Homo-oligomer: A and B are copies of this chain.
Amino acid sequence: MRDNRGVTATTPRIEIEYCTRCRWLLRAAWTAQELLTTFEGELGEVALVPGTGGVFEVRLDGETLWSRTERAAFPELAELKRAVRDRVAPDRGLGHSERR
């Protein structure tokens, strides 16, 4: 039984909610590892959250950074990293991920 019984998490917290039936765990785990590698010192945690119904959503402290339902696509890593950087490490350059 799942609920939000106020178990606290460490912020800045990224949530990656992914559709289990669509078999998107591997993509979600890959995305998590990319973000934890790039923002090793800035993120408090990255949580993998099983979901259903075609969901693939990346949230940072409750703000949706990417929603597959809205964009009809998976997040492009460089763009996702820029969105995270702008919020948790605004002064940081991202090298390859910087260019469009």
Q: Which residues of A pack against B, CB within 8 Å?
A: 2-13, 15, 20, 25-26, 29, 32-33, 36-37, 40-41, 43-50, 61-62
Secondary structure at the A interface, as helix, strand, loop or mixed, is mixed
CB distance from A51 to the nearest CB of B (A): 10
A3–B42 alpha-carbon span in the complex (Å): 11
> Chain B residues near A9 (CB, 8 Å)?
4, 7-9, 13, 47
Set of chain B residues within 8 Å of A3, measured between Cβ atoms: 10-11, 44
Q: How far is the CA of A8 from the CA of B5 in the complex (A)?
A: 8
Shortest beta-carbon distance, A27 to chain B, in Å? 11
Residues from chain B with a CB closer than 8 A to the CB of A7 are 8-9, 11, 13, 61-62
